Amino acid sequence: MPVKTVFETKISHVSILDENGKFDAKLGKGVIPDKDAVALYEHMLTCRHLDEVAFKLQRSGRMGTYPENRGQEATSLGAAYALDKKDWLVPCYRENAGLFWRGLPIEMILLHWMGDERGNQIDNELCVMPLAIPIGTQMLHATGLAWAAKYRKEKQIACTFFGDGATSEGDFHEAANFAANLDIPVIFFCQNNGWAISVPSKIQCSAPTVAQRGLAYGMDCVQVDGNDIFAVVKVTRDAAKLAREKKRPTFIEAVTYRLGDHTTADDARRYRDEKEVESWKKKDPMLRLEKYLREKKLWDDKKHEAAMAKAKETVIAAVKRAEEIADPKNADFFNSMYAELPADLKRQRDTMCTHSLGLDPSQLEGTERQAVNSQH
């Protein structure tokens, strides 16, 4: 019995606007109309300015940890632009551009990183899930949301964002297996930014592409230049069509780079070569889009100045709104946890006697409890 090949495959890499500003007219035809390209660039300017401001807020003690998005703006933005307003966006924590495009108010993200849970209480109409800090959990949530939509015979699909590192989590493999085998209309959008904090993606995944991790589960897989918003829009549209019409999941690997530190709690100079960062600065998604717009006479210095002024105004106003919201009460963190609070937690809330405040509620009895009650 001769040895025969039972399976062979290839992974396509899609690029339309390359790092030198060269545009593939055939592949890129009609992907983003001029007016929208300008709006998307203006949006990126605001997001990048927010990064600068958030960094300063953290350094001056006005915000907790913050993860810069710098360099990755084209990924979530391209995807959010390509999807329908009713499709679920299920993020991790570096998708500001896509979430704001959908309509999430900037102050919600600021509140989140200021440690205020109300930043996660997102208007249901936006179809945006709260940021997921535990790596990988959101892929299961997205699969469940898309499964529910299919069950209800709705057109809605889900798109979940995660990093290269997250594809090593069990949650990814469970979600991918479930989605592929049960025909679930979900897009797995991986942002391969080269690093999972200090772990390079080459160590994280020894296969030549991260995309092929999805292949193992039998779903369509594609790699895209994640710093090329045209290509991101195209592959997301294709994936959305497949999800809507055939109820099939797609794995998109968007190759990008985080130009900043992992978060404000990190110093990337300790583990990565400055030369690598410099080489990626040349591939910045904003640089090439700006070049494209200028060549088409859709952008000039005057427009840039006006857009920057507007971006600054927008960000300052959002910071003001976030900082003006009164601090939450201690008891509030019990309120959004359960539909009906269990008796022991209710007792903790009502007496404000909790382990997290350094008080042991089990030690609290009779008159002592009344004393604590009267203090609050």
Ligand X SMILES: Cc1ncc(C[n+]2csc(CCOP(=O)(O)OP(=O)(O)O)c2C)c(N)n1
What positions carry a catalytic annotation?
A: 258, 262, 271
Query: Does 193 participate in binding ligand X (rule CB under 6 A)?
Result: yes
Q: What single-letter DSSP state applies at residue 362?
A: G
Quote the tokens at residue 213.
Answer: 């991790």
Q: Among residues 252 and 311, whose Cβ is nearest to ligand X?
A: 252
Query: Does 75 participate in binding ligand X (rule CB under 6 A)?
Result: no
Q: How far is the CB of 272 from ligand X (least distance, A)?
A: 12
Q: How many residues line the site for ligand X (CB under 6 A)?
A: 15
Q: Among residues 248 and 262, whose Cβ is nearest to ligand X?
A: 262
Query: Does 23 participate in binding ligand X (rule CB under 6 A)?
Result: no
Binding at 197: pick from Mg ion, ligand X, none (beta carbon under 5-8 Å per type) = ligand X
Considering only residues 306 to 365 of the shown chain, the ones binding ligand X according to CB under 6 A are none
Which residues are CB-neighbours of 163 under 8 A, at least 6 positions away? Answer: 92, 94, 135, 190, 191, 192, 193, 196
Query: Does 134 participate in binding ligand X (rule CB under 6 A)?
Result: yes
Q: Which helix (H) or strand (E) holds 191?
A: strand 186-192
Query: Does 104 participate in binding ligand X (rule CB under 6 A)?
Result: no
Figure out which of the listed residues 77, 166, 215, 219 binds ligand X, where binding follows CB under 6 A.
166
> 272-302: buried (b, 16+ CB within 10 Å) or exposed (e) per residue?
eeeeebeebeebbbbebbbbbbeeeeebeee
Report how far residue 263's alpha carbon sits from residue 336's, in angstroms, rounded to the nearest whole number.
27
Q: Among residues 135 and 157, whose Cβ is nearest to Mg ion?
A: 135
Helices (H), 63-196: 73-82, 96-102, 106-113, 137-151, 170-181
Q: How many residues line the site for Mg ion (CB under 5 A)?
A: 4
Query: Does 163 participate in binding ligand X (rule CB under 6 A)?
Result: yes
Burial-class residue 331 by CB neighbours within 10 Å (0-12, 13-18, 19+).
middle
Stretch of residues binding ligand X (CB under 6 A), selected from 37-45, 50-58, 149-157, 162-170: 162-170
Considering only residues 189 to 248 of the shown chain, the ones binding Mg ion according to CB under 5 A are 193, 196
Figure out which of the listed residues 78, 119, 165, 185 binds ligand X, where binding follows CB under 6 A.
165
Q: Which helix (H) or strand (E) holds 259?
A: none
* Residue 40 CB neighbours (<10 A): 23
Stretch of residues binding ligand X (CB under 6 A), selected from 77-85, 156-164, 295-303, 328-336: 156-164
Q: Among residues 198 and 279, whose Cβ is nearest to ligand X?
A: 198
Query: Does 133 participate in binding ligand X (rule CB under 6 A)?
Result: yes
> 63-101: buried (b, 16+ CB within 10 Å) or exposed (e) per residue?
beebbbbbbbbbbbbbbbbbbeeebbbbbbbbbbbbbbb
Query: Does 79 participate in binding ligand X (rule CB under 6 A)?
Result: no
Q: What single-letter DSSP state applies at residue 114?
A: T
User: What separation, in Å, do the N-terminal and C-terminal C-alpha atoms of the chain show?
Assistant: 81
Binding at 133: pick from ligand X, Mg ion, none (beta carbon under 5-8 Å per type) = ligand X
10: three-class secondary structure by DSSP? coil
Q: What single-letter DSSP state applies at residue 126?
A: G
Q: How far is the CB of 87 from ligand X (least distance, A)?
A: 21
Considering only residues 258 to 287 of the shown chain, the ones binding ligand X according to CB under 6 A are 262
Chain residues that interact with ligand X, rule: CB under 6 A: 94, 133-135, 162-166, 191, 193, 195-197, 262
Residues contributing to the site for Mg ion (CB under 5 A): 163-164, 193, 196
